[in-house]
Amino acid sequence: MEKQRKIIHIDMDAFYASVEQRDNPEYRGKPLVVGGPPQGRGGVVAAASYEARKFGIRSAMPSKKALELCPEVLFIYPRFPVYKEVSNSIREIFHRYTDLIEPLSLDEAYLDVTTDKQNIGSAIEIARQIRQAIKTELNLTASAGISINKFVAKIASDFNKPDGLTFIAPAQVEEFMEKLPVKKFHGVGKVTAEKMKGMGLHTGADLKKLTEDELVAYFGKVGHFYYNIVRGIDDRDVEPERESKSVGAEDTFAYDLTTTEEMHTELEKIAQTVSTRLQRYELKGRTVTLKVKYHDFKQITRSLSLEKPVCDTETIASTAKQLLQLAELTDKKVRLLGISLSNFHEQKIPAKKNSAQLRLFE
Amino acid sequence: MRFIVTSTALLKNLQQISGVISANTVLSVLEDFLFELRGNTLTLTATDLETMMRVQMEVNDAQGNGRICIPSKILTDYLKNLPEQPITFNINVGELSIEMSSDVGKYKIGGEKADDFPKEPAPGDTTQFTMPSIALLECINKTLFAVSADTLRPAMTGVYFELDKNSITFVSTDAHRLVQVRRTDINCPQKDGFVVPKKPLQQLRATLAADETLLQLAYNGSHLFVTSAHLSLSCRLIDARFPDYKAVIPVDNPYKLTINRGDLVSALRRVSIFANKTTNQVVLDINGNALQISAQDIDFSYEGKEMLSCQYSGEDMKIAFNAKLMVEMVGNLDGNEVQVELSTPTRAGIFRSIDKVENEDLLMLLMPLMVGV
């Protein structure tokens, strides 16, 4: 049998609002909404503090409605770059335990801790440590849900919000799903919930009574998902972010290189280009990858991760030379060399740098 | 209900409106077409809650009136793979079942309740005017490319329609450039203005006929309705004030440069290949009747330079633009010759066609880049 997975879903509590309350003491304990102001076309609530939620204010609600529910509510314009930065710090905490991280948004992520980097072994203990680290290092609270798959973990994280931890043991999953009201099911919106209600389907147990064919007939292809999920089956993997792009450069030579000296000279030139590109995008990479293509078009890559992210020519060149020692060079002629850096830390969007462009309106 | 329709005719009509539909996992009914049969007329509707499009067609052997929602993807996929032939639709509205029979087979789809489909906004209390289809199409074509993608400035994510007694002006801007096109052959009932989002305009661009058919435009505080004989579109307007664009259009740019449009675009395209990829900066160096366009990327030691002849009246100057934006602008002008009106290297350049289209006044504005040369 396949090994039972351990999935954690971490959800920051009222993330944007909590960051604002953390950074601005005068906002603490007050009903606060991060989002567009209610005037004009009217923004929507991106996040509401727990004080605001007491009035019935919810995210995605029009700001006008929020103002009706609570006339004293403070509207704060979102500071996305700040949230992004905090989100990166949270992600760094996750990385201490696992690299299998699937961020859903700035404030939510799935972690697969079936095996963890520190050999803690207990998903509950990992979740506890993560929540503790978020609290002490970032002064924010998060809720965690732990179970055997993404679906149950996500629902669990919502159970003891805010600042809670919920574990649904493998043996409890089926019972848990049976008791779950249908509107909590992923993908069940108001319309489908009404439809289910009309059919006398109120909980997972009601759905479980239907055959797979019936579910598909009533709800379309999502019926397959319902059929499995009420039985506690959700095989979706935790998919780590794919944004781990790389920056690199390579050069094909007019004649094949045979001596190490020649190769070193070329690597220095390539390292210079890579460094310039990294600096243009304001990036630093931790992993250096060397690519070597031989005269017979056979190609190899060798990579090395450094202590710290780098972008300077010297380090890139010396690391590449080190990697070259790992490549087989005896009796080989080299046609192409390339260096790339990946595993970036801070990412900045280069478009914003384009300040030379003059504007008509400020 | 039941009817017979030619597969290609149905597909053609569905494709006119299908662009409105976007994937929606929350409200599956938004991924459907609403089919409404009344007599021999079949009305097809698609919506994303912001924009709603509707097309009418005649069908054969219709029996019974009724309404049902049919999933759009499966239906269009099926029709695309079917050679032209009549299809019989047998629809049981109560059981939400749709059966389609063709010469070669029988297919079934499960539908959704028509009552779950969003209602069209009521066109109450509207102001109306008419405009030839081709005129609206042209104006959308000329303005849409300059619309901003910056959602923090909602007003600029649409095209501003500025109405006047004897003209209508369309304006778009992304803060770096601005396009203003005025039709002087359209009469509107009153001075007024509203901002129409990009998506419905893209839909109109894709479906409007390039002919003189009169379209009816009606608007109120929240919506725009565009209606032709068979097709209608309604969309929510952007509820934000369009920036005071007139204030940024220079009234007196004294230096005038006239140049062949095709030559300018080709030269810009070539030279910009050698430009820095983040700024796309090209420098225009004007000396008498010679225009030098140059670009460079210091990081890679790239350099490009071309010399063009032009007619120029004004002081020699050096001014830099983003080549990508400039090519888009000049490419959207009409005629063989273009006139560029300049004042200083840090103020907007005005681009116009020398050959005017009848009843149309087109002006494009582009802010320069700060030259670091």
Instruction: Report if residue A44 sits inside a domain.
Output: yes
Residues A53, A137 within the same domain: no
Rounded-to-integer distance, Cα B279 and Cα B320, Å: 10
Q: Is the pLDDT at A2 greater than 70, yes or no?
A: no
Give me the phi and psi of A336, to 5 degrees please.
-140, 140
Q: What is the pLDDT of residues B184-220, one digit of tens each?
A: 999 999 999 999 999 999 999 999 999 999 999 999 9
pLDDT at A350: 40
Helix (H) / strand (E) element for B21: namely: none
Least Cα separation, residue B248 to chain A (angstroms): 6
Judge contact between B139 and B183, C-beta under 8 A: yes
Is the pTM higher than 0.90? The answer reads no
Residues A36, A123 within the same domain: no
CATH of the domain at A260: 3.30.1490.100
B157 part of contact set with chain A, CB < 8 Å: no
Residues A127, A200 within the same domain: no
Provide the H-helix boundaries in A181-328.
190-198, 204-208, 212-219, 222-229, 260-280, 313-324
Instruction: Report if residue A240 sits inside a domain.
Output: no
pLDDT-derived band at A40, boundaries 50, 70, 90: low
Residues A160, A185 within the same domain: no
- Out of A214-218, A251-255, A316-320, B146-150, least confident range: A251-255
Query: Considering chain A, what percentage of its residues have pLDDT values greater than 90?
Result: 29
Q: How many CB pairs below 8 A link A and B? A: 66
- Out of A87-96, A344-353, B133-142, least confident range: A344-353
Chain B residues touching A191 at Cβ < 8 A? 27-29, 116
The amino acid at B152: L
**Which of A152, A171, A190 is where one domain is finished?**
A171
Q: Which residue has the higher pLDDT, A103 or B13?
A: B13
Chain A residues touching B116 at Cβ < 8 A? 191
Residues A165, A197 within the same domain: no
Rounded-to-integer distance, Cα A320 and Cα A130, Å: 36
Residues A179, A262 within the same domain: no
Rounded-to-integer distance, Cα A113 and Cα A116, Å: 5
How many structural domains does chain A have?
4
- Out of A9-13, A242-246, B63-67, B130-134, least confident range: A242-246
Q: Do A356 and B369 touch (CB under 8 A)?
A: yes
How far, in whole angstroms, is CA A4 from its chain's centroid? 23
pLDDT at B61: 94
Residues A348, A263 within the same domain: yes
Q: Do A191 and B368 touch (CB under 8 A)?
A: no
Chain A residues touching B25 at Cβ < 8 A? 187
Q: Is the pLDDT at B327 greater than 90, yes or no?
A: yes
pLDDT at A343: 80
Chain A residues touching B243 at Cβ < 8 A? 361
CB nearest to A280's CB, from B240, B278, B370: B278
Residues A98, A133 within the same domain: yes
Report the chain B residue with the minimal C-alpha distance to residue A357.
Answer: B369
Q: Is the pLDDT at B298 greater than 70, yes or no?
A: yes
- What is the DSSP-derived secondary structure letter of residue B257? E
Q: Is the pLDDT at A347 greater than 60, yes or no?
A: no
B295 part of contact set with chain A, CB < 8 Å: no
Q: Do A191 and B369 touch (CB under 8 A)?
A: no
CB nearest to B369's CB, from A41, A187, A357: A357
Domain range enclosing A19: 15-80
Rounded-to-integer distance, Cα B109 and Cα B87, Å: 14
Give me the phi and psi of A9, to 5 degrees please.
-110, 120
Instruction: Report if residue A1 sits inside a domain.
Output: no
Report the chain A residue with the minimal C-alpha distance to residue B71.
Answer: A220
B24 part of contact set with chain A, CB < 8 Å: no
Q: Quote the mean pLDDT of chain B.
A: 92
B27 part of contact set with chain A, CB < 8 Å: yes
**Mean pLDDT value across residues A239-264:** 78
Residues A67, A152 within the same domain: no
CB nearest to A217's CB, from B110, B346, B365: B110
Instruction: Report if residue A235 sits inside a domain.
Output: no
pLDDT at A238: 86
Instruction: Report if residue A237 sits inside a domain.
Output: no
Provide the H-helix boundaries in B244-371.
261-272, 323-331
CATH of the domain at A157: 3.30.70.270
Rounded-to-integer distance, Cα B251 and Cα B249, Å: 6
pLDDT at A186: 64
pLDDT-derived band at B171, boundaries 50, 70, 90: very high
**Which of A156, A171, A186 is where one domain is finished?**
A171
| Beta carbons within 8 Å of A157's beta carbon, 6+ residues apart | A9, A10, A11, A143, A144, A145, A166
Residues of A at the B interface, defined by Cβ within 8 angstroms? 40-42, 187, 189, 191-192, 217, 220, 273, 276-277, 280, 350-351, 353-354, 356-361
Instruction: Report if residue A46 sits inside a domain.
Output: yes
Chain A residues touching B278 at Cβ < 8 A? 280, 350-351, 353-354
| Radius of gyration of chain A, Cα coordinates, nearest whole angstrom | 26
Q: Do A191 and B154 touch (CB under 8 A)?
A: no
Report the chain A residue with the minimal C-alpha distance to residue B239.
Answer: A41
pLDDT-derived band at A226, boundaries 50, 70, 90: confident
Instruction: Report if residue A238 sits inside a domain.
Output: no
Judge contact between A197 and A207, C-beta under 8 A: no
Rounded-to-integer distance, Cα A13 and Cα A139, Å: 12
Q: Is the pLDDT at B25 greater than 70, yes or no?
A: no
Instruction: Report if residue A70 sits inside a domain.
Output: yes
**Mean pLDDT value across residues A333-345:** 85
pLDDT at B278: 80
B307 part of contact set with chain A, CB < 8 Å: no
CATH of the domain at A75: 3.40.1170.60
Chain A residues touching B26 at Cβ < 8 A? 187, 189
For residue A179, count other CB atoms closer than 10 A to its CB: 10
Q: What is the pLDDT of residues B39-91, one digit of tens each?
A: 999 999 999 988 999 999 999 999 999 999 999 999 999 999 999 999 999 99
Least Cα separation, residue B40 to chain A (angstroms): 30
Rounded-to-integer distance, Cα B112 and Cα B70, Å: 7
B348 part of contact set with chain A, CB < 8 Å: yes
Residues A292, A352 within the same domain: yes
Q: What ipTM was assigned to the predicted interfaces of this complex?
A: 0.75
For residue B267, count other CB atoms closer than 10 A to its CB: 22
Q: Do B279 and A357 touch (CB under 8 A)?
A: yes
Q: Is the pLDDT at B227 greater than 60, yes or no?
A: yes
B72 part of contact set with chain A, CB < 8 Å: no
CATH of the domain at A207: 1.10.150.20
CB nearest to A360's CB, from B116, B178, B372: B178
Rounded-to-integer distance, Cα B36 and Cα B23, Å: 22
Q: Is the pLDDT at A99 greater than 50, yes or no?
A: yes
Residues A262, A354 within the same domain: yes
Number of helical H runs and strand E runs in chain A: 13, 12
pLDDT-derived band at A353, boundaries 50, 70, 90: very low
Report the chain B residue with the minimal C-alpha distance to residue A221.
Answer: B110
Chain B residues touching A350 at Cβ < 8 A? 278
Q: Which residue has the higher pLDDT, B162 or A244?
A: B162
Residues A203, A276 within the same domain: no
Chain A residues touching B27 at Cβ < 8 A? 189, 191
CB nearest to B367's CB, from A187, A192, A359: A359
State the catalytic residues of A: 108
pLDDT-derived band at A41, boundaries 50, 70, 90: low
| Beta carbons within 8 Å of B80's beta carbon, 6+ residues apart | B11
pLDDT-derived band at A45, boundaries 50, 70, 90: confident
Q: Do A361 and B243 touch (CB under 8 A)?
A: yes
Q: Is the pLDDT at A154 greater than 50, yes or no?
A: yes
Q: Is the pLDDT at B14 greater than 90, yes or no?
A: yes
Rounded-to-integer distance, Cα A208 and Cα A230, Å: 6
Q: Which residue has the higher pLDDT, A281 or B338?
A: B338
Report the chain B residue with the minimal C-alpha distance to residue A275.
Answer: B299
**Which of A55, A80, A105 is where one domain is finished?**
A80
Report the chain A residue with the minimal C-alpha distance to residue B236.
Answer: A41
CB nearest to A357's CB, from B26, B300, B367: B367
